[in-house]
Amino acid sequence: MAKPPATPSPLRVPLRTARTDQALAPLRVLSLTGGGYRGVFTGEVLVRLCAATKCEGSLEEVFDVFAGTSIGGLIACALAVGVAPRAVLQTIEKHGGRVFPPKRHRTARRAIFGTLCDSSHLEDAIDECLGPKKDLKLRDLQKGLVVPAVDWVGGRTHIFVSGFLGKAYATDATLRELCLATSAAPTYFKPKQVDGAPMLDGGLSMNNPDVLALTEVARRWPERLPQLEMLSIGTAGADAPRDPRGAEKKGLAWVKTLPEYMMLVQERTASAQAARVLGRRYLRVNYTEGRDAAFLDLDVANDRARFTLLDAAKATATAAYRKHRTFIDRMLNKSVAKPIRS
């Protein structure tokens, strides 16, 4: 007598694991450009975008990696340890006038001390912004952080990363030391000794750290590159139309314009490269149509400059959200954020 056919066992569908969820979730990067006191613009844009998306409080659980140069580096460090964007902005506004005093007060100081600004005021601002986290070592930071500085002796860009991006690449430098290093603009502030070498402002080579952040994330998680999304925020600026004949100017005629032009070229090149790789997963928010001194210089920190930068940030953030609402809502949505694990 034939045996009855065996009853097939029920189909088992494996449960989705945390690792699978992580592989499918977006990998979010916030990249912040350098620009001295114009960091007021950066901070206000971020505050406005958070308000538009109802993303309240800190952003440490929203973004997986924070990247920044100079003042952008200070903001990135603060955000990476849970300081809310509005608190960072308030610190910049409070200390800006002391970090960058009126220009008429700087000539005598430079003759005596060799720098235009007193680094102790910058140190005070960093200490207040980071609080007890200022002494946290990069090696121990469990959040993605990428900040450049320039190694004067080595003649190269030193890329500081947190332990989250690989402990073999991280150092025992503290967040306070890192902020001082990436902000040590020549003539303005003293170099900062980190890891045995004098460090200068990261803006000398990587004022816009978009590509730097992209490279470090691709090194750490190459399999996650298709999920990488980046929000890049600038520090405003003044990009006046250029006459083709201006490229032929000679000698000292370049002294004033060349450093600013080199910085502009690096910022735009980095942005273009990031956009080429990421396509619609990349957004750059910036304002470059200013003609006021607040947009022309990095060190004008009076009330007029502050209100000018705040007004520009409000208009820029409003326009960006209106045009790219879907992208910004997704980037700043805490309810769907799934930060990756190292």
* Sole residue written with tokens 């928010």: 285
Res 237: pLDDT: 83
Mean residue pLDDT across the chain: 88
Cβ atoms of 208 and 31 closer than 8 Å: yes
Cα 144 to the center of its chain, rounded Å:
12
Q: Where are the alpha helices (DSSP H) in 146-209?
A: 175-182, 203-206
Q: Rounded to an integer, what distance in angstroms lies between the CA atom of residue 271 and that of residue 72?
A: 15
Provide the 3-class DSSP secondary structure of residue 197: strand
Provide the 3-class DSSP secondary structure of residue 144: strand
The β-bridge relationship of strands 156-161 and 65-68 is: unpaired
Q: How many CA atoms lie within 13 A of 163 on its CB side?
A: 13
Cβ atoms of 212 and 206 closer than 8 Å: yes
Task: Indicate whether 13 pLDDT > 70.
Answer: no
* Average of per-residue pLDDT across 39-68: 96
Cα 53 to the center of its chain, rounded Å:
20
How far is CA 198 from each of CA 28, 152, 153, 250, 337, rounded to the nearest angstrom? 32, 6, 7, 33, 38
Kindly report, residue by residue over 102-151, the tens digit of the pLDDT: 876 555 555 455 678 889 999 999 999 999 999 999 999 999 999 999 99
* Sole residue written with tokens 């306070």: 176
Q: Rounded to an integer, what distance in angstroms lies between the CA atom of residue 131 and that of residue 115?
A: 26
Q: Where are the alpha helices (DSSP H) in 17-57?
A: 18-24, 39-52
Kindly report, residue by residue over 167-201, the tens digit of the pLDDT: 999 999 999 999 999 999 998 999 999 989 999 99
Q: Which of 66, 77, 308, 294 minimizes the C-alpha distance to 183? A: 77
Residue 186 CB burial class (10 angstroms; 0-12, 13-18, ≥19): middle
Reported pTM = 0.89
Residue 326 CB burial class (10 angstroms; 0-12, 13-18, ≥19): exposed
Q: Rounded to an integer, what distance in angstroms lies between the CA atom of residue 72 and that of residue 207?
A: 9
How far is CA 124 from each of CA 39, 118, 153, rounded to the nearest angstrom? 17, 11, 27
Q: Where are the beta strands (DSSP E) in the chain?
A: 27-32, 65-68, 144-151, 156-161, 192-194, 197-201, 228-233, 282-285
Task: Indicate whether 66 pLDDT > 80.
Answer: yes
Kindly report, residue by residue over 195-236, the tens digit of the pLDDT: 899 999 999 999 999 999 999 999 999 999 999 999 999 999
Written as one letter, the residue type at 124 is D
* Average of per-residue pLDDT across 7-20: 52
Task: Indicate whether 11 pLDDT > 70.
Answer: no
Cβ atoms of 222 and 161 closer than 8 Å: no
**CA dihedral over 101, 105, 111, 113, signed as positive or negative:** negative
Cα 308 to the center of its chain, rounded Å:
21
Task: Indicate whether 259 pLDDT > 60.
Answer: yes
Kindly report, residue by residue over 76-88, the tens digit of the pLDDT: 999 999 999 999 9
Res 18: pLDDT: 47
